């Protein structure tokens, strides 16, 4: 219900004031007299942006939930573990090294597909590395520190790439890095939807094994779960979801980490068959709220998403840390 | 029933215990005794199917363990491990319900029959009053009982427990051992557990396996006393074993 309201609100409000009645008539297929640009703004701007925000929030929340269960760590999330910095690195290599002066906006579909593939390779490599390390590092804190180190290393490689890249390349990379639900646009929406829905569908298939994994690998295996195959699926799904959202919308931090906790707190359960749909819904809602907040200046400009998400995510993380400590 | 035929257990190519030929009968609680590091956990892990046998055979009701699929194995052997189970918001019924995983459908939803079995398992270990409590609010002893109920809900003929009495206070140790003894006699299951609580093991179990000097000696407390195995195992400065009373005392 909240999601429907927020979706509508996302279409109604934008950085430009368009009367509600006119938005409605545009959605009904009519054109508002004297404002032909409004149709384009609503249909090719706000609607795809709303869908992008909705799917990104869903994908990142789900991703965070999968990671928290897989690593049995309440502070796991795509950004904290450095998985999205792996995707960043992939994108940086394509944009700064291979793409040269090509900006994201001017990339063709195949070019954009390349960005997704690069992000995917980056995210999957980091996930694989973390999976190997998580067997060696029993301590939860060590794994988080590893994630931070990975972020630093990829960060420094990206800096190096930035240093040697062209001004245009650096600019487009920085803009991309701020996070933006508008960057998908109507023409890339089908690809984005397909990839993220595929990832979400695969995540739903993992509900039962994830429940068993809550007890630990050995218990799960004893309950008839094929641990090796489940781990590979987790690797693939989290890689796909992180890579897709990161490649299209830029690195969006904290949503993946915070949303599963909001779901657990509000429902008081750890069962994935309840928790996963709830995480998806809350993730979608939270991203829609962030998208609304980003249009707050009302002067035609927008606040980057990556400015807003930490403000919402940080208090949730603090709450979790304090709970773990007790 | 589990039959071990010339079984060698270990990791990689490093054998920890070799050429074990023993049998675990149905309707018995058998305690595995031995000092730290002699390979108690290695045996348990091999019998649970977590480790492949290096050589020899493990036959579960006549079927070779490695030839069973993961799903078949989950219906043959259940485990209670030493690792701590900590899941936020998980209630006792939820934890015990996890034991139904081998039998539930794609999303793991419990039907009426599953719920009845879960309720029964909780009742059997005597924690019905705690059923709706979350597991982080339980004492160590209550938590072990909940895990035992999970194993019961899994409806396997064999339950393996790795040091289930460690970390428990005295009363809880006695309580869980007596409970398991009653269960094997009522349900005709096999319960095989490792423990360091030697005195309780020799007083309560149906049979003992003693691991010493790379060998396993099995038998009842009586037969192992008669053969002198128990005395050799307990022989140390300052410990005396009363064969009649089955008690261990410390010489002061």
B83 to A212: CB separation less than 8 angstroms, yes or no? no
pLDDT for position A105: 53
Among the residue ranges A90-104, A130-144, A182-196, A266-280, the one predicted with the least confidence is: A90-104
B74, B89, B154 ranked by CB distance to A268: nearest? B89
Average pLDDT over residues B126-149: 93
pLDDT per position as a tens digit, A216-250: 889 999 999 998 889 888 888 998 899 889 888 88
pLDDT for position A102: 43
Average pLDDT over residues A126-155: 82
Q: How far is CA B106 from the centre of its chain?
A: 29
**Above 80 in pLDDT, residue A168?**
no
Confidence of residue A10 (pLDDT cuts 50, 70, 90): low
pLDDT for position B167: 85
ipTM of the complex: 0.92
**Above 70 in pLDDT, residue A109?**
no
Nearest to A78 by CA among A217, A259, A267: A259
pLDDT for position A100: 40
**Above 60 in pLDDT, residue A57?**
yes
pLDDT for position A235: 82
**Above 90 in pLDDT, residue B28?**
yes
Q: How far is B80 from chain A (nearest CA, A)?
A: 8
Confidence of residue A77 (pLDDT cuts 50, 70, 90): confident
Write out the DSSP string of A1-27: -HHHHHHHHHHH--SS---HHHHHHHH
Residue with tokens 């829905």: A197
pLDDT for position B149: 95
According to DSSP, the β-strands at B215-219 and B207-212 are antiparallel
Q: Does A214 touch chain B (CB under 8 A)?
A: yes
**Above 50 in pLDDT, residue B151?**
yes
Percent of chain B with pLDDT over 70: 100
* B234, B198 Cβ separation under 8 angstroms: yes
pLDDT per position as a tens digit, A256-267: 999 999 999 888
pLDDT per position as a tens digit, B175-217: 999 999 999 999 999 999 999 999 999 999 999 999 988 889 9
Confidence of residue A32 (pLDDT cuts 50, 70, 90): low
Other CB atoms within 10 A of residue A265 CB = 15
* Count of alpha carbons within 13 angstroms of residue B115, beta-carbon side: 4
Confidence of residue A167 (pLDDT cuts 50, 70, 90): confident
Q: What structural domains does chain A harbor?
A: 2-325 (1.10.3470.10)
* B179, B145 Cβ separation under 8 angstroms: yes
Confidence of residue A15 (pLDDT cuts 50, 70, 90): low
How far apart, in whole angstroms, are the C-alpha atoms of residue B243 and residue A317?
A: 59
Percent of chain A with pLDDT over 70: 80
Q: Quickly list H helices, A137-271.
A: 140-164, 167-177, 185-205, 207-213, 217-222, 227-249, 255-267
According to DSSP, the β-strands at B2-11 and B14-24 are antiparallel
pLDDT for position A223: 95
**Above 70 in pLDDT, residue A140?**
no
Average pLDDT over residues A178-186: 77
Nearest to A57 by CA among A295, A204, A249, A233: A249
B48, B78, B83 ranked by CB distance to A216: nearest? B83
Nearest-5° Cα angle at B184, B181 to B187: 140
A 234-273 → B contacts, CB under 8 A:
264, 268-271, 273
A218, A226, A264 ranked by CB distance to B88: nearest? A264
Q: What structural domains does chain B harbor?
A: 1-76+158-252 (3.40.50.300), 80-155 (no CATH)
Which residues in chain A have their CB less than 8 angstroms from residue B143's CB?
A: none
Residue-wise burial string across B30-54, b where 16 or more C-beta atoms lie within 10 A, e elsewhere: bbbbbeeebbbbbbbbbbbbbbebb
Q: B65, B78, B100, B101: best mutation site toward chain A, by most A Cβ within 10 Å?
A: B101
How far apart, in whole angstroms, are the C-alpha atoms of residue B213 and residue B38?
A: 8
pLDDT for position A176: 75
Among the residue ranges B24-38, B68-82, B127-141, B232-246, the one predicted with the least confidence is: B232-246
Residue-wise burial string across B110-137, b where 16 or more C-beta atoms lie within 10 A, e elsewhere: beeebeebbbebbebbebeebbeebbee
B89, B101, B109 ranked by CB distance to A273: nearest? B109
Q: State the average pLDDT for chain B.
A: 92
Nearest to A223 by CA among B203, B107, B116, B150: B150
């Amino acid at each position: 219900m909240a999601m429907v309201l927020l979706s509508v609100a996302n279409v109604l409000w934008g950085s430009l004031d368009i009367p509600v009645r006119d938005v409605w008539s545009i959605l009904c297929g009519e054109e508002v007299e004297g404002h032909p640009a409004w149709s384009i703004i609503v249909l090719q701007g706000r609607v795809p942006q709303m869908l992008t925000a909705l799917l990104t929030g869903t994908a990142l929340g789900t991703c965070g939930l999968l990671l928290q269960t897989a690593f049995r760590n309440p502070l796991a999330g795509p950004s904290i573990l450095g998985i999205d910095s792996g995707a960043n690195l992939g994108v940086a290599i394509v944009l700064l090294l291979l793409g040269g002066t090509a900006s994201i906006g001017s990339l063709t579909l195949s070019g954009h597909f390349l960005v997704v593939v690069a992000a995917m390779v980056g995210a999957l490599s980091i996930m694989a590395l973390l999976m190997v390390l998580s067997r060696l590092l029993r301590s939860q804190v060590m794994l988080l520190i590893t994630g931070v180190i990975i972020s630093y290393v990829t960060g420094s490689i990206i800096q190096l790439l930035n240093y040697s890249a062209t001004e245009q390349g650096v600019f487009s990379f920085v803009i991309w890095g701020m996070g933006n639900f508008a960057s998908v646009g109507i023409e890339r929406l089908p690809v984005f939807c397909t990839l993220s829905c595929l990832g979400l569908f695969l995540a739903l298939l993992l509900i039962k094994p994830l429940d068993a994994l809550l007890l630990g690998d050995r218990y799960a295996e004893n309950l008839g779960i094929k641990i090796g195959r489940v781990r590979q699926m987790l690797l693939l799904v989290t890689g796909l979801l992180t890579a897709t959202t990161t490649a299209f919308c830029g690195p969006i931090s904290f949503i993946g980490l915070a949303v599963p906790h909001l779901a657990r707190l509000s429902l008081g359960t750890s069962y994935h068959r309840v928790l996963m749909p709830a995480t998806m819904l809350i993730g979608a809602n939270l991203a829609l709220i962030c998208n609304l907040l980003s249009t707050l200046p009302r002067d035609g400009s927008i606040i980057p998403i990556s400015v807003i998400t930490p403000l919402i995510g940080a208090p949730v993380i603090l709450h979790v840390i304090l709970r773990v400590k007790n | 029933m589990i039959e071990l035929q010339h079984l060698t257990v270990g990791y990689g190519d490093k054998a920890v215990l070799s050429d074990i030929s023993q049998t675990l009968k149905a309707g018995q609680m058998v305690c595995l005794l031995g000092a730290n590091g002699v390979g108690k956990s290695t045996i348990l892990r091999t019998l649970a199917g977590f480790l492949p046998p290096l050589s020899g055979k493990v036959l579960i009701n006549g079927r070779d363990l490695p030839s069973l699929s993961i799903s078949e194995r989950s219906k043959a052997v259940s485990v209670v491990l030493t690792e701590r189970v900590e899941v936020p918001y998980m209630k006792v019924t939820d934890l015990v319900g996890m034991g139904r995983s081998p039998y539930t459908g794609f999303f793991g939803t419990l039907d009426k029959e599953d719920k009845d079995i879960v309720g029964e398992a909780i009742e059997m270990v005597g924690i019905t009053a705690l059923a709706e409590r979350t597991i982080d609010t339980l004492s160590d002893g209550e938590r072990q009982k909940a895990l035992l109920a999970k194993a019961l809900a899994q409806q396997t003929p064999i339950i393996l427990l790795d040091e289930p009495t460690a970390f428990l206070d005295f009363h809880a140790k006695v309580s869980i051992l007596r409970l398991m003894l009653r269960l094997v006699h009522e349900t005709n299951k096999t319960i095989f557990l490792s423990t360091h609580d030697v005195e309780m093991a020799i007083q309560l179990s149906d049979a003992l396996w003693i691991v010493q000097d790379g060998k396993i000696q099995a038998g009842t407390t009586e037969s192992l006393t008669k053969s002198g195995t128990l005395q050799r195992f307990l022989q140390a400065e300052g410990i005396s074993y009363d064969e009649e009373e089955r008690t261990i005392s410390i010489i002061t």
